Amino acid sequence: MMFDNTAGSLRKQWSNPGDILSLLLLIGGDTVQKAIAQLVGYTLSPFGSRGLSIGLTPVAFSFGWVAYGFTNLLSVVGERKLMPTADVPVIVVNCANAFARTNQSWVLGRLLRDHEIRNEVDSSDPFDGHLPSTSPEGRAESIRIDIFELGAPSKPNLDLVWWLGWVTIIVQIGIAIPPWYLNKNWGVAMIVLCGNFLAFLTCALPQWRQEKWAGRTLTSDQVTCLTRGNGFAHIMVFIGRKGSWNLETLATASSTSRPETLVISLILAVLWVCLLISVSGLEEHAWYLVGIGGIGMLQNVIAAGKERDPGASDFHLTKFSRMPTIIGKRQRFNDDHDAEVDLDQTKNDLSQLYTWLQTRDPSVQDPSVQMPRWLDSMTKEDGVPDWLEPIKFEKNNIANVHGALQELEKWVPTAGLAMVQIFFPASLQYEDDHIRNNVHKKFWKRAYHTKDVRKKAEHKRRESERNYKGKDEHENSVFSTKMPV
C-alpha cells in the first residue's frame, strides 16, 4: 500500500511539477548578473543621437531572475553598484612609468580571459626533449605577447552570443503558445511575457552601461599592458591614441550611482515577487514553464561564460602590423662573459634619432633631415643598431621570458622595460641586481639609457604613418568621386 502511495506521488509530481517551480526561480541569481554584464551595452536611439537611448540587452527570463532581483537590490542599497566584481585577476600597467594597478573592471578582466582562451600557450616539453621545440605539440612556450592598436570606442559589435539571446526569447514565447491555443490556458504565456519584460527593464537601467565603461578616453598616445603578472604566460599590449579608451581609468571601475536606480530596483524586486506568487498559483502545464526556464537558464549560462570578440565589449583592436605576436620559447643559450657596455657608443648609434627629433621644433626645422629608414624597417640593411635588431624571421630563437621582453622593447619602446618590472620586479630603470645574465644586462642597460629618444621617435613615426595613411585615404576618396560614371 505504501509502495503504491509513493509511486502515485512520484507519478503526480513528474506529470505536473508545479510546486517546484517557485523554488527553481530562486537559483542562479549570480549567473543572471554575469549574463547581463556580458551583454549590456548596445543602445538604440529612435529619436536621434541627442535623444533618449534605449538599452537592448537580450538576457532571457530564467529560473534565477527572482533571486537576482533581491541580490541586485542589496547591491544597489549597499555598494550602489550593478556590475559584478572582476572575476579574473589582472594587472594594468602604464608603460610610460611602469606604474601597475590591480584591475577592478569586469570588462577588462574578461578581455584578457577571452584572449587567453583563444590563444593558448603550450608550456609542456616536446617528446624528444629538444629545445627550442619545433613540434606542434609540446611547444615549450614561456610567454606570449600580443600587440594591438587600440581604436576609439563606438558601439559594441553584435555577435552570435547577443543574437542567441533574442532567439531564446522568441523560442520561449513559442513554447508558451500551445497551452493557450489548445487549452485556453494563458497563464504560461503571461508568465513568459511578464518575465521577459521585467528582465528587459532591469537590463535597460542606464547605470549598467555607465559602470561597464567607467573610464575616460585618452588625450594623447599611451601604451598600456594587461597581464595576470609574474608566473603567467600572456601579455596584451595596447598602443592607444587620442580618443581610445584610457585603460588605467577603466581599471578603477569607479562611477557615480544614478539616483533613479535604487527606486527602480525596489519596484522591480516587488514585481519579481508578484511573478513568483503567480507562478506558485499555476496548477497545470508546469512542464511548459520548466522547459521555458531551462532554456532561459542555458542562454544565461552561455552568455555569462562564453568567450567573446573584443569588439563585442567596445574594444576595437587592430593587430600591430609590424610585429603582432612575440612568443618566447624555453631554451638554453650562451651567456656573455661580462655585462659591460659602452653607453656613449650606444647613444651615438641613435644619433640620427636625436637629430630627427629636433625637427619637431619649428625653430630648428630642417627639411633635409628625414626619419632614419631603419626606424620603420628595423633591418640591419637600413642601419638599425645591432642590439635593436629584431629576431623577426627566426621566432624559435626568442629565448625565454627575457628574450620575448627584449623583442617587445625593440618594437614598442618602454613596454619591455615596464614589463621587466612586473616579471622581474624593480622600477622603470636599470637595476643590475635584478638581472641575472650578462647578455640581458647589456640589452637593458642600453634600453634604459636610450628609452626617452626611442619612445619619442616611435611616437613620431606612428604620427607620421597615420598622417600618411590619412592623406592617402583622402586622395583615394577624391579620386573616386572624380571617376566618370
Kindly state the average pLDDT of the residues 121-144. Answer: 80
Average pLDDT estimate for 219-241 = 95
Nearest Cα residue to 123 out of 111, 137, 113 = 137
pTM of the shown model: 0.85
Q: Are strands 141-150 and 317-319 parallel, antiparallel or unpaired?
A: antiparallel
Lowest mean pLDDT among 185-199, 284-298, 355-369, 419-433: 355-369
Q: Which of 72, 81, 84, 109 is nearest to 34 (CA)?
A: 84
What confidence tens digit (pLDDT) does each residue in 395-452 have? Answer: 667 889 999 999 999 999 999 999 998 998 755 566 776 677 888 888 888 988 898 8
Torsion sign, CA atoms 47, 51, 57, 61: negative
**Can you give the pLDDT at residue 485?**
43
As a dihedral over the C-alpha atoms of residue 90, residue 93, residue 99, residue 105, rounded to 10 degrees, the angle is: -50
Q: Which residue has the higher pLDDT, 232 or 183?
A: 232
Question: What does the mean pLDDT of the chain come to?
Answer: 86
Give me the mean pLDDT over the 231-249 stretch. Answer: 95
Rg, the chain, Cα only:
29
Residue 462 has pLDDT above 60, yes or no: yes
Per-residue pLDDT band for 356 (boundaries 50, 70, 90) equals confident
Domain boundaries, the chain: 15-87+157-217+257-317, 332-482
DSSP notation for 376-402: HH--GGGT--GGG----S-GGG-BHHH
Look at residue 217 in the predicted model and tell me its pLDDT: 94
Residue holding cell 541569481? 29
Residue 425: its pLDDT value, please?
A: 77
Residue 475 has pLDDT above 90, yes or no: no
